[in-house]
Structure formats: C-alpha cells, structure tokens
C-alpha cells in the first residue's frame, strides 16, 4: 500500500510539473 501511495504521489507531482511547464510555455508564446 505504501508503495502505491508513493507512486501515485510522484505521478501527481509529475503531472503538476508538466502542467506548470505547459502553462508557462503557452504563456510565453502568447506574450
């Protein structure tokens, strides 16, 4: 169970980082 929680947490952080990167990239392109 602990392994699953750790995996899902890292996956969530991965999605967050990608989301921030995409938002920053689009923002930079728009500006």
pLDDT at site 29: 73
Tens-place pLDDT, residues 2-29: 788 888 888 888 899 999 988 888 887 7
Q: How far apart are CA 31 and CA 29, in angstroms?
A: 5
Quick one: residue 4, left, alpha or beta (phi over 0 = left, psi -120 to 50 = alpha)? Answer: alpha
CA dihedral 26, 28, 29, 31 (to 10 degrees): 120
Looking at residue 18, its pLDDT comes to 92
pTM passes above 0.85: no
């Amino acid at each position: 169970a602990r392994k699953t929680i750790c995996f899902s947490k890292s996956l969530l952080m991965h999605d967050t980082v990608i989301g921030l990167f995409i938002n920053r990239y689009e923002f930079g392109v728009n500006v």
